[in-house]
Amino acid sequence: MFTEKNIPKLIILTPIITVILIAFLNTYFFVQSQYNYFKEESIRVEEEYITKQENILKREIDSLINYIDFYRKRNTKLTEEELKKEILKYSETIRYGKDGYVWIHDTNYYLRAHPFRQDRIDTYDIDLKDPQGNLITKRFIDETLKGPDGTYIEYYWRKPTNVNPSKKLGFFKLYKEYNWVIGVGLYIDDIQNSIAQNKKMLEERINKYIRIVVLISSFVMLFVGFLSFIMSKKITEVFRKYKENVKRKEFLLEDMNKNLEEKVNIAIVEAKKKDKAMLHQSRLARMGTMLSMIAHQWRQPLSELAGILMELETASKFKKADEKMIKDSVKESNKLIQFMSYTIDDFRNFFKPDKKKVHFYVEDSVIEAISLISASIKNYNITLNKNIKCNCEIYGYKREFAQVLLNLMSNAKDILIQREIKNPKIDLVVDYIDGYSIVTVKDNALGVEEEYLDLIFEPYFTTKSGSQGTGLGLYMSKMIIEKNMGGELSVENLEDGALFKVKIKA
């Protein structure tokens, strides 16, 4: 089926069939979604309309009660009974909607106002029944007394213009000052007729949308079919030229393959040279760091030694240098020179590679790393806070682990100096959590840039200038912790700085 001869036909038919299927499926799902929308919207329209009618009933009673309160406050001429009669007469004149009116009972079941039952005014109306045989007056008043702020009740009553009864929705509220139960109502069939009209309008609108979508889909299918036919001719021509180009390039590729091995070997040699140069640069950077640390360690003893010699020279000028003073000066000088010699040995031994794994305590490596960097940190007025919460024993390369801690503290020191942070500090914490020894090194240098968080442990990646960093420090530290010691080295940004965490099985 999929041969070179059939490819042009496939090119023509595939997009046409695909577009027809997509258009059909889109139209089908659109029609389905519109009908579902119609059902949901019909329910919403019905609920919204009923709520609106309920609000109309409530508003009519609230308006009448506001009128009564206003009329009572402004009345200065009529007696209380005369005032009530005026209000009751006024209530019988109120109309709203198609067949809406107001009627009033008192809480003793007497009918006080009704525009269409004038013969029953001021009579005991508790025996009034609806066509279903329910005592509706008793129900109106009893349920209103339970909910004096307003209650909705459904019942049957005939319209003023009809003989047959209709279902009605009434709203009743108690006017406490006169013990009146004020009622209003709407006929359900009027509400349903309005809802049916709204649904019909909604259905017509949705059907219009469906017709438009079907028409557009049909047009798109025809257009794409025509376009596919035109494009297939172009593609067939391009395909023919492509085959010719492929044949030409096959010959060129054969020639290139002959020289490929030689080019690969050259690239490998160049890559090795580059790696060798980078490693050499890394060694130089480490040597520079070590010399800087040695210089800071030697600065104080050299100053003390110079002071001893100056004191001895002054005493000699004034001929006060006796034998005891000379011996003491020589003894003190030897102590300082011996300390400087020990410093050289510490640095030389620290950077020797470990040959085998041993069990060691984390605090020993912490102290060893701090002893080498403490003078450098103090020189830049950086505060180093050490907190050993739990000194755990771990298994691995002790000296390499100390080098990792030294590298983390050195990086923290460099970024604090680079960003000129006020009140710079480094917090080193050793703890034990869930079977792991956790060492964290945190600074307050505002953290690592978000775009660099995923790259910070990559080889040759550095945010320092070329003369200050090679991008291998953190990469080598991660290799030592994760590859050599089976642990984990990670970084995260906190509010004021970065936190590097070393996690190793304790």
pLDDT exceeds 70 at position 251: yes
| pLDDT: which is higher, 91 or 40 | 91
Q: What would the CATH number be for the domain defined by 1-261?
A: 3.30.450.20
Res 12: pLDDT: 63
Res 227: pLDDT: 75
Mean pLDDT calculated for residue range 369-379: 79
pLDDT in tens, 67-105: 888 888 888 788 888 888 888 998 889 888 777 889 999
Strands 165-175 and 180-187 come out as antiparallel
Contact 426, 415 (CB under 8 A): no
pLDDT exceeds 70 at position 30: no
Give first-to-last CA distance, the chain, whole Å: 65
Res 134: pLDDT: 85
Residue 422 region by backbone torsions, left for phi larger than 0, else alpha for psi between -120 and 50, else beta: beta
pLDDT category at 395 given cuts 50, 70, 90 is very high
Res 181: pLDDT: 92
pLDDT category at 351 given cuts 50, 70, 90 is low
Res 385: pLDDT: 93
User: What does the alpha-carbon distance between residue 83 and residue 185 come to, in Å, rounded to a whole number?
Assistant: 25
User: What does the alpha-carbon distance between residue 385 and residue 169 come to, in Å, rounded to a whole number?
Assistant: 78
Residue 158 region by backbone torsions, left for phi larger than 0, else alpha for psi between -120 and 50, else beta: beta
Strands 383-388 and 425-433 come out as parallel
pLDDT in tens, 422-437: 999 999 999 999 999 9
| Mean of all residue pLDDT scores within the chain | 79
H helix or E strand, kind and range, residue 303? helix 188-317
Domain 355-505 homologous superfamily, CATH: Histidine kinase-like ATPase, C-terminal domain (3.30.565.10)
Contact 424, 383 (CB under 8 A): yes
Mean pLDDT calculated for residue range 7-14: 64
In the chain, the percentage of residues whose pLDDT exceeds 70 is 76
Task: Compute φ and ψ for 428, nearest 5 degrees.
Answer: -115, 120
Domain ranges of the chain: 1-261, 355-505
- The pair of structure tokens assigned to 400 is 């390499």
Res 157: pLDDT: 81
pLDDT category at 460 given cuts 50, 70, 90 is low
Res 31: pLDDT: 67
Res 386: pLDDT: 92
Mapped onto helix, strand or coil, the DSSP state of residue 367 is: helix
pLDDT in tens, 95-154: 887 778 899 999 999 999 998 888 989 999 988 888 888 888 888 899 999 988 889 888
Res 54: pLDDT: 82
DSSP string, 166-215: EEEEEEEEEETTTTEEEEEEEEHHHHHHHHHHHHHHHHHHHHHHHHHHHH
Angle, CA 353 vertex, CA 349 and CA 354 arms, to 5°: 100
Task: Compute φ and ψ for 40, nearest 5 degrees.
Answer: -65, -40
